[in-house]
Chains A and B, each alone.
Chain A
Amino acid sequence: MTDIASPPLLRLVGVAKRYDLRRGLRRLLQPAEGNTVHALDGVDLEIARGETLGVIGESGCGKTTLGRVALRLQEPSAGRVEFDGIDIGSLDARRLRALRKRMQIVFQDPYASLNPRRSVGQIVGRGLALHGGATTSAERHARVAALLERVGLPRAAMARFPHQFSGGQRQRVAIARALAAGPDFLVCDEPVSALDVSIQAQILALLGELKRDFGLTYLFISHDLSVVAHVSDRVAVMYLGRVVETGPSRRILSAPAHPYTRALLAAVPRLDARDAPPRQRLTGDLPSPLRPPPGCRFHTRCPEAREICRRVSPAPIQLAQGHAVACHLYSGAAP
């Protein structure tokens, strides 16, 4: 997958993120165990230039933290994030800001992510100004207008404020703001989850066009497997802070290997029951990320758990080109 000629655009190596919930003196008085959220735990991922990597998982699996750590919006507790060969953890604030031109994010909630007191023109223009895209105000005005038109909003939108737009239109504004910096990498964190079905399709189509036109690379985070499968070249399935399976989208859909991936696929409501794989209902709730189970994190809900799963954390096993799974079921079956 990776050769020297074309290194991945983004690479995560052994990335972990822990949140210590103890504050002040409690750090001395209370044990770390049971008071630390293990949001990410030993995550290795690569995204090739021009690729869309979909990250799928349920609440608390760490997918949002993953997106934030990938942009160094949050510092990882361990591990390394490389963007275009640069270890972004080593950069000082000035050089990091310069690099941020190339890496942007679109958030889930377009009601919370846009400043209600700034006009759309100011919101999008600020991206341009920060990253030195336009020098004179006339130039900036023209660039903002062009960006808005590119995302399907009228020029007149510039003078208006976020509350005057619907959710889908706001998400277009958020996308225009991200594009203003001229990025080549975009993290889309649940960009369509807050939108109605008919509007969701519009935004997905727009993201597809922009990717083609600007040669973008996406890290596309969602809880909705149908959406992820539709937009992604490759998919990474996460459970409680770990990546349990990665592979080409088609292969994940047609030959899911991890019991969790299989259960996720079976749980998606289908229009035609005949399309649904045999039911494999999971029982029980997600364990708390404060006290993740030992061994394989999925063993408490796994229909195929064995003795070893309770003790030993499974390492990823390569099943086929680009398809890897972290599950003891396959430990004897490595090629």
Chain B
Amino acid sequence: MSAAPLLSIRGLRTVFPTRQGLVRAVDGVDLDVAAGECLGVVGESGSGKSVTFQSVLGLVRPPGRIEAGEIRFDGRDIAGLPADALRALRGGDIAMTMQDALTALNPAFTVETQIVETLRAHRRVQGGARALRATAVELLARVGIPDPESRLGQYPHQFSGGMRQRVMIAIAIACRPRLLIADEPTTALDVTIQAQVLDLLAAMRAESGMGMVLISHDLGVVASHCDRVAVMYGGQVVESGPTRAVIDAPRHPYTRGLLRSRPDLAHPERPIVPIGGQIPDPAAPPPGCRFRPRCPEAGPGCDAPVALRDLGAGRAARCVRVAA
């Protein structure tokens, strides 16, 4: 990685004050996304995967706040950017699709209004209403919505789940973003529709050369679509590296646990081995390694804080028992 990455996150800490105390939803996250690359971010609920990228886009709702860290997009630190500068970035150079298209889209406006609104806000199309409408039709056609001319005037509820997800992707790519963040883009969809949407995202990326972050709870989704993967647990990245290498030879015990607890269609006879215990309480994470209470390999030394260490070959793990 010689050139500066498109997105670079260093030491990001995002906190939410709650009655139970300060929740460090994201606690010391380092991540890089190169231009044209797809980074998969995998984790269970509470791992901080979504909050990390909400922080990137300035979408963390007060009283939540970014407490520390650096977020560089194209070399520029955007962590402390004022609201209007962030607004110019969002939907323009960086776009995000949400998990649930039904809540992300406004039910009171037609799809046309919502696409055109984005195009207008970023002044990416020359010309008047007709040119904007033509661009909107073109966008719907590109995401594979049949009969885009007549669909344009419809409301979100008139679309099926898969089609709504496509509409949201159309809005996200409307301004040709250089980075697309897809937060669980297929979780709410049936498996045959999920395959269609993932193929569409891959095609969009190949076509435009944009960088992409695919956030998912499913290693399988990430395995087939991402160059690199970052596994998150308890607000931290516990392992990262080239996807194939991480899946074939995981270095962190949590990654191994995730892989073993997943039923595998190719090997239905292989027993699944659950990870014992519960996901840690975010208001009172265990000291030292966050995974220690559930880790079958935990031993002395695991109760001290551990950093994400470089293992060479583009790989890193946050575990004291892994030798470089």
- Which of A250, A267, A275 lies in contact with B192, CB distance below 8 A? A267
Specify which chain B residues have a CB less than 8 angstroms from the CB of A264 in the assembled complex.
Answer: 191-192
Specify which chain A residues have a CB less than 8 angstroms from the CB of B39 in the assembled complex.
Answer: none
Once the chains bind, are B190 and A286 in contact (CB under 8 Å)? yes
* Cβ of A239 to closest chain B Cβ, rounded Å: 10
Asked if B262 CB lies within 8 Å of chain A CBs, one says: yes
How many residues of B sit at the interface, in one of the four size bands?
A: 35 or more
Q: Which of A223, A230, A263, A271 has the most CB of B within 10 A?
A: A271
Chain A contact residues: over half helix, strand or loop, or mixed? helix
Q: Which of B245-284 contact A (CB under 8 A)?
A: 247, 257-266, 268, 272-276, 278-279
A268 and B220 contact, Cβ closer than 8 Å, known pairs A198-B258, A253-B268: yes
Q: Which of A58, A59, A197, A223 has the most CB of B within 10 A?
A: A197
How many residues of A sit at the interface, in one of the four size bands?
A: 35 or more
* Cβ of B156 to closest chain A Cβ, rounded Å: 15
Asked if A35 CB lies within 8 Å of chain B CBs, one says: no
Q: Which of B214-248 contact A (CB under 8 A)?
A: 217-221, 223-224, 247
Once the chains bind, are B217 and A197 in contact (CB under 8 Å)? yes
Q: Which of B264-312 contact A (CB under 8 A)?
A: 264-266, 268, 272-276, 278-279, 294
Specify which chain B residues have a CB less than 8 angstroms from the CB of A169 in the assembled complex.
Answer: 278
Once the chains bind, are B195 and A226 in contact (CB under 8 Å)? no
Once the chains bind, are B258 and A229 in contact (CB under 8 Å)? no
* Cβ of A201 to closest chain B Cβ, rounded Å: 4
Once the chains bind, are A58 and B192 in contact (CB under 8 Å)? yes
Once the chains bind, are A198 and B160 in contact (CB under 8 Å)? no
Give the distance in Å from the alpha carbon of A264 to the alpha carbon of B193 in the complex.
10
Once the chains bind, are A205 and B274 in contact (CB under 8 Å)? yes
Once the chains bind, are B261 and A200 in contact (CB under 8 Å)? yes
- Which of B45, B191, B217 lies in contact with A225, CB distance below 8 A? B191
Asked if A3 CB lies within 8 Å of chain B CBs, one says: no
Specify which chain B residues have a CB less than 8 angstroms from the CB of A286 in the assembled complex.
Answer: 160, 190
Once the chains bind, are A226 and B265 in contact (CB under 8 Å)? yes
Once the chains bind, are B262 and A272 in contact (CB under 8 Å)? no
Asked if B77 CB lies within 8 Å of chain A CBs, one says: no
* Cβ of B199 to closest chain A Cβ, rounded Å: 7
Asked if A329 CB lies within 8 Å of chain B CBs, one says: no
Q: Which of A252-271 contact B (CB under 8 A)?
A: 253, 263-271
Once the chains bind, are A166 and B279 in contact (CB under 8 Å)? yes
Asked if A78 CB lies within 8 Å of chain B CBs, one says: no
* Cβ of B235 to closest chain A Cβ, rounded Å: 15
- Which of A168, A263, A269 lies in contact with B220, CB distance below 8 A? A269
Specify which chain B residues have a CB less than 8 angstroms from the CB of A227 in the assembled complex.
Answer: 263
Asked if B196 CB lies within 8 Å of chain A CBs, one says: yes
Once the chains bind, are B275 and A269 in contact (CB under 8 Å)? no
Once the chains bind, are B265 and A268 in contact (CB under 8 Å)? yes
Residues of B in contact with A (beta carbons under 8 Å apart):
44-45, 160-163, 190-196, 198-199, 217-221, 223-224, 247, 257-266, 268, 272-276, 278-279, 294
Top 4 A-B pairs ranked by shortest CB distance? A269-B220, A201-B261, A201-B274, A275-B266
